Chain A
């Protein structure tokens, strides 16, 4: 089985936010929640870089560790998913996540966190693949259809890569070798405790 990862080549990202839009549209993510976002570092200064960030599907994920009801699970492809039936909306995964991935719909006046929502790597949830219930709670399950996450698939500059960790790492290494520079595999050290030597 593959070990699925995301890799954003910040030297290619042009901050078009198409990955953000595609994700929202594909999964019909509610208003106020962005499973993916683009952050620009050193904005307006020489050498600024933009990074597209979502759940990194960490190795030994902190969200799963601190969840008081154990609603997280890791699939055979190493994708970190969660059950919205078990989630109580306590917010602990959000406190623990290094990437600010978990988000909550504001459902009431106070104590207002609903069930947590985050990037599913386009892999749905615990329901049977591509059912209406799964679509409603977690969005499209592209992985079950043999497709990769839409954000990476439609990235216009191919900055955002998704797929098996070793393969996307070799693609990135090749790019860095060819052009002679690279700002790093953003988030890899924190999420996977390893980085790509460049």
Chain B
């Protein structure tokens, strides 16, 4: 009885309400007759579940900072990459390469000039080329140390230096890193411009690789032009790696107009490219100094021993001789 009555009242009320709406609503207005907040309100849970990885919940904001309109970015991938994957990668890359080089040195020793020094010198890199090389090299070493400090300093240096002294050093390291980065960009650009013509891949490179670059066997030197296959790999790694580092570094210094997911990607690229390049540069520095007799002169004085040049870059020496452009003179 009671329910029938209440049903009657409710039905009557609904009819009355409907009549009221119909009579008061101007024709054409499409307002919903009632808003159900339960059914229509946005729910955090649904929004979060609908997100794709790396996406963020975004809305509208009235303060003049459009980036602040991003409300929640749930992904924690970058954190685990930065805290676990990157340090692991860095350790394996650097220590692994050092171990390999030590092993190589023990097995092969210093690679000598087979024919011995000739006493005659030939110009291999002019002053512009050496300037490009050393601008890139010095800035890279500074950037590698100040950058690795961000990844490893907390674990390695804080226990020794104490938190205050380490923070002070890290602060200067950050400033140095941000400023020297621009010198590195200039260096990589110069390296690209002066050497790209000599670094085009060629068939001779395949033969060079097939012979292991002559690194493993004494007295055997696969012929090479100005740059052999290994050097071309170093060149393109520096150009491509340097470009990636410059671009991602630029984003990290000026993150104001990018989204959070973008910045996380840039930081990831920056870290991976940096450690890969550091490992490669360790090998490059080894073979260019203590690993090979006569190699350092190429970037030191710019002039190498003729016998060294004939053994390692025979085709290049022939070309220079043919063109008559070889700058040769007896060593002082």
Contacts and interface: CB of A to CB of B under 8 A. Distances in A.
Interface of A: 10-11, 15, 17, 20, 32, 34, 37-43, 46-51, 53, 62, 65-71, 85-92, 94-96, 98-100, 110-111, 180-181, 183-187, 189-190, 195
Contacts of A181: 37-38, 41
Given A88-B174, A98-B76, 16 more contacts: A10-B44, A34-B68, A38-B61, A42-B42, A53-B71, A68-B170, A69-B166, A86-B167, A90-B174, A96-B79, A100-B73, A183-B44, A187-B72, A189-B45, A189-B48, A190-B72
B267 interface: yes
25 contacts: A37-B61, A38-B62, A39-B60, A39-B61, A47-B35, A47-B39, A50-B59, A69-B154, A69-B163, A71-B167, A88-B167, A88-B170, A88-B171, A90-B170, A91-B252, A91-B263, A92-B150, A95-B264, A99-B72, A111-B179, A181-B41, A187-B44, A189-B44, A189-B45, A195-B45
Contacts of B58: 39
Interface string B35-58: 101111111110110000000011
Nearest to A34: B63
A51 B67 CA distance: 15
Contacts of A50: 59
A189 B74 CA distance: 9
A10 B47 CA distance: 14
Nearest to A111: B178
A183 B68 contact: no
Nearest to B255: A91
B13 interface: no
A167 B72 CA distance: 24
B97 to A, nearest CB: 23
Contact of A184 (B39, B44, B83, B150): B44
A39 B42 contact: no
Contacts of A88: 167, 170-171, 174
Contacts of B59: 39-43, 50-51
Contacts of A186: 44, 71-72
Contacts of B171: 88-89
Contacts, number: 159
Contacts of B149: 68
A89 B174 contact: yes
Contacts of B37: 11, 47, 181
Contacts of A53: 71-72
Contacts of A86: 163-164, 167
Nearest to A53: B71
Contact of A69 (B71, B75, B167, B175): B167
A42 B255 CA distance: 26
Given A88-B171, A95-B260, A40 B61 contact: yes
Contact of B43 (A48, A180, A183): A183
B254 interface: yes
A47 B42 contact: yes
B70 interface: yes
Interface string B144-158: 000001110110001
B246 interface: no
A65 B61 contact: no
A11 B41 contact: yes
Contact of A68 (B44, B63, B67, B150): B150
A110 B178 contact: yes
A184 B61 contact: no
Contacts of A15: 62
B222 to A, nearest CB: 45
Nearest to B179: A111
A198 to B, nearest CB: 9
B253 interface: yes
B332 interface: no
A183 B41 contact: yes
Given A65-B79, A69-B166, A184-B43, A46 B61 contact: no
Contacts of B150: 68, 90, 92
